[in-house]
Structure 1
Amino acid sequence: MFSDNPQDGNDWEGHDDGFLVECTPPECAQNDTPPEACDGYAVYWRPSAPAATGPSAEELAQRAVAAMNLSMGQIGSTPPASGSNPSAVGTIGLPIWLWIANRAENTIGPITRSAGGGGLTVTAAGTLDRVEWTLTSANGTTIGAISCDGANAPGTPYDGRNSAEPSPTCGFGADLNSSPGTLTLTGTAYWAVEWQSSGGQGGQIPFTTQPITTQIRIGELQALLRN
């Protein structure tokens, strides 16, 4: 803090105008210790008021990350989510493909945003590190859990190929699709953000999105024999 009221004492260093700048160590301010009793407390005379303090590089990095609006994205799966296609039913014994359906820079990356203030600019670059998936039965039992990492994180949209062929990048194997019913898919995206400031500082910020959940239905394929 600073004062512009001259007073008696050596702090003014013989001046009758200007400003006194009071410096209090952060730990004293946090602990509500009286400044005068704190080791490192000092008062200095200055001819002009101190410049306003701007945001730190770390604060600007957090603002840049917030501007990215990072998201898990919409779940793509085989069979399709029952919420988007109520008539969709998968078949027991087939692999389940998983992917992020709404592909954009804030759902699969890469993405870059900047924030500035107080003469400082920070640029942050985000990449999708991995997507973690869980498959849960109707009674709440976890059937399977996988992590799709790096280039495989966004998954591969199903392209109509042989339905018995597993996803080349991300999905559950046929061995986990062994009983009929409604299954719950949950996906959580994990992002890695690296930032650099115009002042030469830098760092990393891990970011985890809110999980997204949807349901799929699995049925048995009935064979009809006719004479």
Structure 2
Amino acid sequence: MPAVRKDRSAVAAVVASALGIMMTVPSVARAADDFGNESQNPRENTSGDKSGNDISASAMAIHFDQSRNGKGGGAGPVTPAGDWTPPPCWYQPKWTAKQFKAYTEPIWEAGSTGYEWDAAQRKRYEGGEPYKDFNLDKQDEGYWWDAVANPDRIAEPAALSCDKPTFWVDKGDPPNVPNAVTPEILGQLAYDRIRVPDTEVKLSPDARQTVNLPTWAWLDETAFKPVSVTASIDALGISATTTATPVSLRLDPGTEDAELHPASGECPIEDGRIGTPYTKGQGDRTPPCGLTYLRASQDGPFPFKATLTWKISWEGSDGQGGDLPDGTFGTTTEVTVQEAQAVNR
């Protein structure tokens, strides 16, 4: 088939997929129809096989279990350290033999992709060059694999880099192609679904701060816990769980006229917690995590920012695993600082 026709078809198909339109050209990157299903979706039979023996299309999609993810209105995605991004595209099982035949033949009959394209596809998947009759004689022995574009990176040229035509893989055989879906890729995709709770830092004083009076900062232990997302493909029996664990809190007073405690502004975990709650009588002590403003906020409140760093790792169903880039998530609060000659705390 001509290269120009293939490239134009790929672009059209990816754009259509991004808009949620059923694509009419096989063998190009797909997005939303193969990606992003939640674990609650039904595993219905979609092949047209009334016996129910044919595996459902849903079972070949990626499903995300977010039951242990961060929740609440303030929860949000982490910002990865550096310029790391999840993969722009990958290959995964898409159809059984019957499903691929049922999907492709109406496209040929419609003639919407042109005679040359259709003829080349018929040779490849029906005429024995190299596949014969969609591999129907191997219906229970494998799946047709296809490219999937990451919907979050659909506008990037890299989303079209997985351009290998639809191909067959026997069950249990490793796909002989780069970027085939693995637990590691699932772990990277789950990273993008991680949501962490709002960084609600407790301050004492909790209203107006006072010049030269230490402000204590700490995190509520009940919100200070790991979150995780599991990505899986039922048809392959593979999965990966990506976990984000809070490791340190960075304070930014919003002005250069302040001292940080510790001086780096990075409050580490100590005894399973970050910072120490203020108790009465500690007003003149230096807090293990906090800051001291050196001037009043006469021109308006200071934008105090608390940013939590999360260590992120993945563990796959194949026993493999490792670290992914740390992520950060912060909250900015307006802080008013007043002058005072004497303060009782």
- TM-score higher than 0.5: yes
Q: Are positions 1:124 and 2:245 aligned together?
A: no
Distance 1:143 1:90, change over 3 A: closer
Instruction: Extract unaligned runs of 5+ from structure 2.
Output: 1-26, 28-120, 136-143, 147-157
After TM superposition, give the deviation of residue 72 of structure 1 in Å. Answer: 4.5
In 1, Cα distance between the equivalents of 2:257 and 2:326? Answer: 25
TM-score by length of 2: 0.44
Deviations 1:47-79 (A, max 9, x none): xx5369884323422454455421342122122
After TM superposition, give the deviation of residue 16 of structure 1 in Å. Answer: 6.4
Which structure features the higher share of helix residues?
A: 2
Deviations 1:156-213 (A, max 9, x none): 2223332112223x112xxx42222233211111111221111132121234234211
Match of 2:231 among 97, 115, 120: 115
Q: Among all aligned residue pairs of Structure 1 and Structure 2, give the percentage whose two residues are the same amino acid.
A: 23
- 8 Å CA contact 1:187, 1:213 repeated in 2: yes
Deviations 1:133-152 (A, max 9, x none): 11123xxx464561112337
In 2, Cα distance between the equivalents of 1:71 and 1:215? Answer: 20
Of structures 1 and 2, the larger Rg is shown by: 1
Q: Are positions 1:73 and 2:199 aligned together?
A: yes
Distance 1:162 1:67, change over 3 A: same
In 2, Cα distance between the equivalents of 1:16 and 1:113? Answer: 40
Q: Secondary structure at the match of 1:209?
A: strand
Q: How many residues are matched? A: 186
Deviations 1:92-135 (A, max 9, x none): 2211111224732xxx2233443321311212333212221111
Distance 1:130 1:56, change over 3 A: same
More displaced stretch, 58-67 vs 110-119 = 58-67
- Give the residue type in structure 1 aligned to 2:239: T
Q: Tell me the C-alpha RMSD between the 2 structures.
A: 4.0
Which structure features the higher share of strand residues?
A: 1
- 8 Å CA contact 1:71, 1:209 repeated in 2: no
Match of 1:188 among 285, 307, 316: 307
Instruction: Extract unaligned runs of 5+ from structure 1.
Output: 36-40, 81-87
- 8 Å CA contact 1:194, 1:202 repeated in 2: yes
TM-score by length of 1: 0.63
Match of 1:167 among 287, 290, 297: 287
The equivalent of 2:82 in structure 1 is none
- 8 Å CA contact 1:129, 1:153 repeated in 2: no
In 2, Cα distance between the equivalents of 1:101 and 1:22? Answer: 47
